[in-house]
């Protein structure tokens, strides 16, 4: 996915810290990511295309998925931040973005194979540019 130059995150620096996923799978809580996926995410966090758009097979990294989420909700990053973060006062802020997905929208490769994403919480660190 290619991000627009007028991205809804413009004006902020974002560091992706991690995520927690829920799956459309009867054993969803017991699923694990393969070692290769974990290594890729740990080493190339913001560039690791581990979230797959099911309709076309396009890989998304966490930065692109956040961008997609903001576009889908018609919001900008600033809309989700406390006032101090919007004005640049107070340094960095930890923000969790809870996302819910319709069945067959996105999936990840787990130890059970391609597994539909039900929900995803992205944890990011945000500072003003």
Please say if the pLDDT value at position 88 is more than 90: no
Please say if the pLDDT value at position 5 is more than 50: no
| pLDDT band with cut points at 50, 70 and 90 for residue 58 | very high
Please say if the pLDDT value at position 6 is more than 60: no
Please say if the pLDDT value at position 25 is more than 90: yes
Averaged pLDDT of the chain: 88
User: For the chain, how are helix, strand and coil distributed in percent, rounded to 5?
Assistant: 25, 35, 40
In 3-state terms, what secondary structure has residue 70? helix
Strands 93-100 and 12-23, sheet pairing: unpaired
Taking the complete model, does pTM exceed 0.75, yes or no?
Answer: yes
- Are 22 and 119 contacting, i.e. CB atoms less than 8 angstroms apart? yes
Q: What percent of the chain has pLDDT over 90?
A: 62
Where is average pLDDT lowest: 4-18, 67-81, 105-119? 4-18
């Amino acid at each position: 996915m290619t991000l627009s130059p007028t991205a809804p995150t413009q004006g902020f620096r974002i560091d992706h810290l991690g995520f927690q996923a829920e799956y459309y799978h009867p054993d969803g809580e017991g699923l694990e990511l393969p070692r290769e996926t974990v290594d890729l995410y740990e080493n190339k966090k913001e560039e690791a295309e581990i979230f797959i758009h099911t309709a076309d097979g396009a890989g998304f990294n966490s930065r692109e998925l956040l961008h997609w989420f903001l576009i889908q909700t018609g919001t900008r990053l600033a809309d989700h931040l406390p006032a101090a973060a919007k004005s640049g006062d107070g340094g960095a802020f930890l923000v969790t973005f809870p996302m819910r997905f319709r069945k067959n929208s996105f999936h990840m490769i787990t130890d059970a194979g391609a597994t539909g994403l039900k929900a995803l919480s992205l944890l990011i660190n945000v500072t003003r540019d």
